[in-house]
Amino acid sequence: MEEHLKRLSKMYHKAPINLLMNATLKVLPSKAIIRMKADPNYFHAGNSLHGSIYFKMLDDASFFAGQSIVSDYFLVTSNYNIHLMRPIVEDELIAEGEVIAMSKSIVTASAKLFNSSGKLCAYGTGAFAKSRIKIEDAEGYM
C-alpha cells in the first residue's frame, strides 16, 4: 500500500498541469491533501480565483483519495458536483479529499477547499469509475 501511495504522489507531481500550478499532494489511505498558492494568473476579471481552479483542486483531492484504495485500475471522474462558497484572492489553499463509499466499480469521494484562515471556500462530491487502464500503465505512476 505504501508503495502505491508514493507512486500516486509521483504521478500527480509529474503531470504537466500540476507543474504549472505548483501544487503539492499528500496521499493517505482513503484521503488526499492538496496545497497550492492562489496565483493571480488564475484569476478572472473580477480579481479572484476562477471556478475551474476550485473544481480542479476538489476533483483532484477526491480522485486521489479514491485512487489510494484502488490499486488495480485507473479511476476516471464520472460526475462531480461543486458548491462555491466564497471568492478566493491571493491565498494558500488546502483541498482535503476523502472516500465516502465504494462499490465494485465506483468510488464516491468528497473534498473541501479551505483558505489559509481555515474558512470553507468550496466543497464537492464525485463518483469515480474504474477505467480499462491498469494503474501501472498510467503516465508517471511507475
Q: How confident is the model at residue 106 (pLDDT cuts 50, 70, 90)?
A: very high
- Cα separation, 103 vs 84, in Å, equals 28
Q: What is the pLDDT of residues 37-66, one digit of tens each?
A: 988 889 999 999 999 999 999 999 999 999
Q: Where are the domains of the chain?
A: 2-137
Residues 94 and 48 sit within 8 Å (Cβ to Cβ): no
DSSP state letter for 22: T
Q: Is it the case that residue 1 has pLDDT exceeding 90?
A: no
Q: Which candidate, 75, 64, 56, places its Cα nearest to that of 29?
A: 64
Q: How confident is the model at residue 98 (pLDDT cuts 50, 70, 90)?
A: very high
Q: What is the pLDDT of residues 125-138, one digit of tens each?
A: 999 999 999 999 99
pTM of the full predicted structure?
0.95
**Mean pLDDT value across the chain:** 95
As its CATH architecture, domain 2-137 has Roll (3.10)
The predicted pLDDT at position 19 comes to 86
- Cα separation, 23 vs 27, in Å, equals 13
